[in-house]
Structure 1
Amino acid sequence: MDQPADSNASDSEDGAIRRRLPPAERRQQIVDVAVRFFAEVGLDGKTRELAKRLGVTQSLLFNYFATKDDLIEAVYEKVYIGRLSPDWPERLSDRDVPLRDRLIAFYSEYSALIFEREWMRIFMFSGLAGASLNHRYLKHLGDVILRPILAETDALARGDTRPTMEDVWNLHGGIVYIGIRQHIYRMPAPEHPEDEIARAIAKYLQFFEIELEN
């Protein structure tokens, strides 16, 4: 169902006159600003303060999102689920392409999407607040990305050592940590993260005696 007309959108908390926006555009604006807002102050940030940043009334905000949880859900969809490409599971399972190349292609694209301030900080704040966003995202990631990686690794692994989900999580966590260092700890990141990603993947494959061209 369409949102109600943006009839109050021109009146901000401080009385300033704002341009009226179509409902879909206003909703997107709210989500975009909410992403930056929660990344800065955490999920405990007040909707009244968010409304001030938007230059609209708090009541207008709740015309689009009935509760703060609904707004956070929209942020989650935009920042996390919306960035997972639907074709990644299929590409990761394409055995016509060497596994090393599949992993490098995936993590090059994935890191380009998550190695940014908003993604890292909202994820951190969500974990500290005990919110369900982290658990839901990691479960989804495990199901659609990491389990295919495990299956492909297991198919090519040689010797007696068999890969486990813990091994895949270690690979994934090590790569994600590059972004954590930069955006959470504010420490220098590698000048060329793609080189570190390729090195981590090579070590992972070599541990299971998988030839790099496979």
Structure 2
Amino acid sequence: MDGPTDKTASESDCGTIRRRLPPAERRQQIVDEAVRFFAEVGLDGKTRELAKRLGVTQSLLFNYFATKDDLIEAVYEKVYIGRLSPDWPERLTDRNVPLRDRLMAFYSEYSALIFERDWMRIFMFSGLAGASLNHRYLKHLGDVILRPLLSETEALARTDVRPTMEDVWNLHGGIVYIGIRQHIYRMPAPESPDDEIARAIDKYLQFFGIERDD
């Protein structure tokens, strides 16, 4: 059970009794609601308003997260780092599988995780606010996913034009833009994102003369 300070707003202010949550469950509840909250109002949203939405006291939030930055860090771990599968780098560099198949498998899984409102909106709000979240995420993504992808492209390229990180980022950014269109610009999304992903991948590979079965 939580300690005596783990009270909902109604317990503290109205004297009513509600079930107290175990610490791990309460912490998860706070993080889950913080994800929805920051996706809606941006990272400038006030913890007082978040506490009100949760029906808890603001002091309770700070029992679990000493600062707002600590809470945002927990949101970052849940929404960004927690969605990166640890086996993706190994699968992307498995040369027993054609590169096109590797790319299709990765981007089908990755897009299914990021093509949703909370991920897109928090990412955009973070960039607009100058926060470090998306910079850290993009660096991590570049190190564990995109640089290995560049190495695989370099190994198979059959043209005089050598692939660069800019080429890889252009491929990645074009695919991510499918989700941005839907959740940021609120424009119609493709009925089959995988078809659009396949077109982007084929265009990328063809530019470097890489065959489908390479």
Residue-by-residue CA offset, 1:104-154 (whole Å, 9 max, x unaligned): 000000000000000000000000000000100000000000001100000
The separation in 2 between residues aligned to 1:198 and 1:6, in whole angstroms, is 53
The separation in 1 between residues aligned to 2:189 and 2:85, in whole angstroms, is 25
Matched residue, 1:10: 7
The separation in 2 between residues aligned to 1:128 and 1:106, in whole angstroms, is 28
Residue-by-residue CA offset, 1:159-196 (whole Å, 9 max, x unaligned): 21100000000000000000000000000010000000
- 1:138-149 matches, within 5 Å, as 138-149=138-149
Specify the SS of the correspondent of 2:209: coil
Does the CA contact (< 8 Å) of 1:8 and 1:57 recur in 2? no
RMSD: 1.2
Does the CA contact (< 8 Å) of 1:12 and 1:18 recur in 2? no
Length, aligned pairs only: 211
Does the CA contact (< 8 Å) of 1:31 and 1:74 recur in 2? yes
Specify the SS of the correspondent of 1:187: coil
Gap runs ≥5 in structure 1: none
Specify the SS of the correspondent of 2:45: coil
CA positional deviation for 1:17: 4.0
TM-score normalised by structure 1 residue count: 0.96
The separation in 2 between residues aligned to 1:28 and 1:45, in whole angstroms, is 19
Kindly report structure 1 stretches of 4+ aligned residues shifted beyond 4 Å.
none
Does the CA contact (< 8 Å) of 2:121 and 2:184 recur in 1? yes
Matched residue, 1:106: 106
Matched residue, 2:76: 76
Q: Residue 88 in 1 paired to residue 76 in 2?
A: no
Q: Which amino acid in structure 1 is aligned with residue 151 of structure 2?
A: A
Matched residue, 2:171: 171
Does the CA contact (< 8 Å) of 1:91 and 1:102 recur in 2? yes
Q: Which amino acid in structure 2 is aligned with residue 179 of structure 1?
A: G
The separation in 2 between residues aligned to 1:169 and 1:11, in whole angstroms, is 46
CA positional deviation for 1:19: 1.9
Does the CA contact (< 8 Å) of 1:9 and 1:19 recur in 2? no
